[in-house]
Structure formats: C-alpha cells, structure tokens
Amino acid sequence: EYEARLAEFEARIARGEKIEPTDWMPEEYRRQLIRMISQHAHSEIVGMLPEGKWIPHAPTLRRKLILIAKVQDEGGHGQLLYRAAETLGISREEMIEAFLAGKAKYSVVFNYPTPTWADVAAIGLLIDGAAVVNQLMLAQGSYGPYARAMKRICYEESFHIKQGYDAFVALATGTPAQRRMMQEAVNRWWYPALMLFGPPDRDSVHTPTLLRWRIKTKTNDQLRQEFVDQYAPMVLRLGLTIPDPNLRYDPETGHWRFSEPDWEEFWRVIKGDGPCNAERMAARRRAHEEGRWVREALAAKAAQRTNGGSN
Ligand code: FAQ
C-alpha cells in the first residue's frame, strides 16, 4: 500500500506536477518542507534586523523610504512563508515557539553586524543576490504553496537587488571615503553571502532527500558557483576587490574559481557563537513579548465571535 502510494507520488513529481496540501505525501517530505519553510520564514523575520537598524540613519529621504519598503517586504515574506508552512499541518505558534526556543535555525548570515551604511548596500546586492539565486531554484520545487510563494517573493527581491545595486554603485563610484567604506563592507559580506547556500555538498545531509523529491532542484555548491559567476564580475567592474586571493575566471570551464568560506566559523555561528546571535534572539524575544497583548486581544475577539457576540 505505502510502496504503491510512494511510487505514484514520485511519478507525479517526475512528471513535473505540483504536490498540493490535501494530496498524499510521505511524512518525511512533509517534515523536510516544514523544516525548510519555517527556517526560511524565521530568516526573513530576523533578516529585518541588520538593515532595519539603518532606517533612522539613512543618508537621504529617498533612501530611507526605499529601505522602509524593503524591510517591510521582508516581514511580508516571512508571513507568506509561515502561511505556506501552515498548509502542512503545523501552526504558526508552534513554529515561532521552536524558533524562540533555539530549536529551529535561521540563516547564518543575519548574525553578522552592519556597522556602516555601506553594509546595507552590501546586503542589498550580495545577500539579496544570493537569496534570489537560491529562491529561483526553490520556485521550481515540487510543493505547490512553497513554489508559488517563492515566485512572488523573487519578484519583490529583484527590486531589492536593484536598490542594493543602486546604493552600492553610489558608494563605489563616490568619494575616496565612500569607496573605502563600500570596500570594507564587501570584505565583511562576501563570505557570509557564500555561506547562505549552506554547507558544501559533501557535508550536506539533507540534499539527497531534497533532490529526490524536487524540494531542491540544485545543490548548495551548484548555486554557490552560480552566485560567484554572476556577482564577482559585477563587484570587480565597479572597481572594488573581493577578499579572496584565489578568485579568478577560468576560461577552460567558463566559471570563476573561488575559495570556500571558513566552514568551522559557519558551524560555530549556526550553533550560536556569532557576533550578533544573542542580540538577534533578544530582539525577537522582546518583539514576541511586546506583541503578546495584540495576540491576546485578537484571540479574545475571535472567541467572542464564535460565542455569538456581535462585536
Ligand atoms: N544558515 O543539509 P544542509 C532570506 C543548516 S534568504 C543556517 O545543506 P539543506 C532573504 C541546515 O538547516 C535566507 N543554517 O541543509 C533575505 C541543516 O540543519 P537542520 C534564507 C544552515 O536544507 C535577504 C544543516 O545546516 N533562505 O532570508 C544554513 O539541504 C536579505 C545541514 O545543511 C532559506 O532558508 C545557513 N545558511 O540546505 C532577507 C531558503 N545552511 O535543519 C533579508 C530555504 C544549512 O537539519 C535580507 N532553504 N544550514 O537543523 C534552503 O534552500 C536550504 O534549506 C539551505 C540548506 C540551502 C539553506
């Protein structure tokens, strides 16, 4: 019985069909999607913090308005993703609980600091750029609600990259002090951008299962290479350098060669020992506490409605 259902499920995926919430799916497929989508949602919400810090200090009114819109989009993406995960039978409360208890991860990159305005530009170009490379792949995935959310999110993130590029170009072609500030931010964000794609394939425990069921359609290393091929030349064209002595174009393969990030640092920061982990978690816990009265008021209102109250 189970074998037959699994065979039919895998045949559907092989035909390129989308799996929908009410369709039969293996428990492991469900579990993997909940893990990935919820961690993706937490990342969007935590990802509001490093840039959000700069909203009050944006250099012009125009840049402030753009940054507010961008950070708001990230909050919206988090909501879309929690909603997509809820279709798999887990509640938003359970997901947030797991995150606040430190059981569910969020992207390692958001544990790095943003000491200057140029860090906002570096995130906008490099981190959003990396996120879009990853998400265009996820938009091809087999689970309907996640793939559709990815499509919509990618449209918005293309705008984020444009704002990042625009701020990046302004600084990279600006005064010597601005160029220096932009270079230092690139030095800080280059390796975190490479880390966004996850551990190297040789250490990626989930990739085989995710590829089998087309939750992922490319591996971590394939996407990292795509990112370097697209973004390294862009940074170099703007007259900046990339903090990697091994970075060079290989005409034989048509790809850029590059050094891998420090994987020990990657695991250490994921485990909680990064420059901003404690600060990010404290900010999320505080927001959760400060929002408690809103949740309680909504719940009371909903209870009143189901009890037949008119207001
Ligand atoms: N950070 O076996 P794998 C954004 C964990 S974009 C932290 O290779 P998998 C937009 C992994 O969870 C960023 N942990 O895992 C934005 C697993 O641990 P677990 C978010 C990581 O699933 C831009 C373990 O290591 N995007 O927020 C990371 O095959 C700018 C083993 O790893 C997504 O989440 C990492 N980078 O591949 C917002 C996309 N990498 O769960 C604001 C959806 C791995 O067993 C500003 N997720 N780990 O405890 C994915 O595409 C995949 O899950 C990967 C990891 C590629 C992240």
What CATH number is given to the structural domain containing 156?
1.20.1260.10
Q: Average of pLDDT values for 144-153?
A: 97
- 306 band by pLDDT with thresholds 50, 70 and 90: confident
CA of 263 to the centre of ligand 1 (A): 14
- Any ligand 1 atom below 6 A from CB of 38: no
Same-domain status, 41 and 135? yes
3-state secondary structure of 256: strand
Amino acid in position 228: V
Closest residue by Cα to atom 23, ligand 1, is 128
Same-domain status, 291 and 268? no
Same-domain status, 237 and 288? no
- Any ligand 1 atom below 6 A from CB of 149: no
Q: What six digits make up the tokens of 43?
A: 């990342």
Which residues constitute the domain of residue 310?
276-311
- Alpha-carbon distances, residue 40 vs 12, 69, 73 (angstroms): 25, 20, 14
Does the structure show a pLDDT above 70 at 178?
yes
Mean pLDDT for all residues in the chain:
97
Same-domain status, 19 and 41? yes
- 282 band by pLDDT with thresholds 50, 70 and 90: very high
105: CB partners within 8 A, 6+ apart: 39, 42, 270
Question: Radius of gyration over alpha carbons of the chain, in Å?
Answer: 21
Does the structure show a pLDDT above 60 at 311?
no
Closest residue by Cα to atom 33, ligand 1, is 40
Same-domain status, 256 and 308? no
CA of 37 to the centre of ligand 1 (A): 9
Same-domain status, 307 and 183? no
- 63 band by pLDDT with thresholds 50, 70 and 90: very high
Same-domain status, 138 and 280? no
Amino acid in position 155: Y
How many helices (DSSP H) and strands (DSSP E) are in the chain?
A: 14, 2
**Tens digits of per-residue pLDDT, 198-241?**
999 999 999 999 999 999 999 999 999 999 999 999 999 999 99
Q: What six digits make up the tokens of 297?
A: 């008021």
- Any ligand 1 atom below 6 A from CB of 204: yes
- Any ligand 1 atom below 6 A from CB of 40: yes
Contact 238, 298 (CB under 8 A): no
CA of 191 to the centre of ligand 1 (A): 15
CA of 198 to the centre of ligand 1 (A): 6
Share of residues in the chain with pLDDT > 70 (%): 99
Same-domain status, 144 and 88? yes
Predicted local confidence at residue 60, as pLDDT:
97
Does the structure show a pLDDT above 90 at 309?
no
Predicted local confidence at residue 307, as pLDDT:
82
Predicted local confidence at residue 310, as pLDDT:
54
* Shortest-distance atom of ligand 1 to CA 137: 51
- Any ligand 1 atom below 6 A from CB of 36: yes
**Tens digits of per-residue pLDDT, 71-126?**
999 999 999 999 999 999 999 999 999 999 999 999 999 999 999 999 999 999 99
Same-domain status, 51 and 185? yes
Q: Average of pLDDT values for 146-168?
A: 95
ipTM of this complex > 0.90? yes
Q: Domain total for the chain?
A: 2
- In 204-289, at which residue ranges do the beta strands (DSSP E only) sit? 248-250, 255-257
Q: Which helix (H) or strand (E) holds 178?
A: helix 176-195
